[in-house]
Amino acid sequence: MAVDEAILTARTEGKVPNTLRLYTWKPSAVSIGFFQSLHHEVDLEECRNRGVDVVRRITGGGAVFHDSDGEVTYSVVVAEADLKRITPHSTIQESYEALCKGLLEGLKELAIAAEFKPINDILVAGRKISGSAQTRRRGIILQHGTLLLKSDIRTMFRVLKVSKEKISDKLIKEVEERVTNIYRETGRELAVEEVIGALVKGFQRALGVKLKEGELSPYELSLAEEFKHRYASKEWLELR
């Protein structure tokens, strides 16, 4: 999360280009939305016991379980003006859709037909496979989100605060029916690299840009290092 914010900040200062970042989490982590109540949403003890990190995002939206080998996270940092040039739009809602097209095209690369569902979801045959969240600073958009490779609903329910009485096989079955993932849709366990490759192609096609592979700049790394302390602080985590 510190890196996403570092890219956003560096972009607002004109020091880096528009950026697509694709990554996984190590260890697994729960991220909660800016407005969410930590103690209502996350079972901190369960997270501690399982070695799962907990982090508050600068973006709104819901809690996400970032399974270290079960999902890919994307983040896009792009100037509003640039995105508008590529895909004319006027509202925040429309900008979600414009950026989520990258995911739709990426899924198409993997022969998965998906659709965008406002506000921030991507569905495959009615089942959620991805959720996104967005914020803006000085004319620059940061949109990030998760794309499920597989679903571990049982662990997700343990680390998030779903009342333990409510966690039944029936409920897990119901939720499994409402979500899906890449392994299930393709019928095989793809390497993360293959998914990332598909997403790169997808974003290039959706946004009509040619992406150039690169590393974080020393400036971004130093910002990330600085922001890391805030993300790790009790004040930030317990902000709400």
Partner 1 sequence: MRVEAEHKVAGGKLVRVELEVEEGVIKRIKITGDFFLYPEEAVFKLEEALKGVRASSELEKLIEHELSKQGAELLGASPADIATAINKALTSIKP
CB of 197 to partner 1, least distance (A): 30
How many Cβ atoms sit within 10 Å of the Cβ of residue 105? 19
Of 4 and 105, nearer to partner 1 (C-beta) is: 4
120 binds partner 1 (CB under 8 A): yes
Answer for which of 133, 147, 153, 199 binds partner 1 (CB under 8 A) is: 133
CB of 187 to partner 1, least distance (A): 29
Answer for which of 37, 49, 222, 233 binds partner 1 (CB under 8 A) is: 37
| CA gap 131, 201 in Å, rounded | 19
CB of 203 to partner 1, least distance (A): 22
Q: Return the axis-axis angle of helices 218-232 and 2-12, rounded to nearest 10°.
A: 130
| CA gap 224, 1 in Å, rounded | 8
Of 35 and 69, nearer to partner 1 (C-beta) is: 35
Do 145 and 132 meet the contact criterion of CB atoms below 8 Å apart?
Answer: yes
Site for partner 1 in 76-105 (CB under 8 A): 92-93
Of 97 and 194, nearer to partner 1 (C-beta) is: 97
Location of structure tokens 């040619």: 210
Distances (CA, A) of 236 to 30, 32, 58, 127: 15, 11, 10, 33
Convert residues 39-78 into a mask of x (bound to partner 1 by CB under 8 A) and - (unbound). Answer: -x-----------------xxxxxx---------------
119 binds partner 1 (CB under 8 A): yes
Would the CA dihedral through 85, 100, 22, 6 be positive or negative? positive
CB of 51 to partner 1, least distance (A): 25
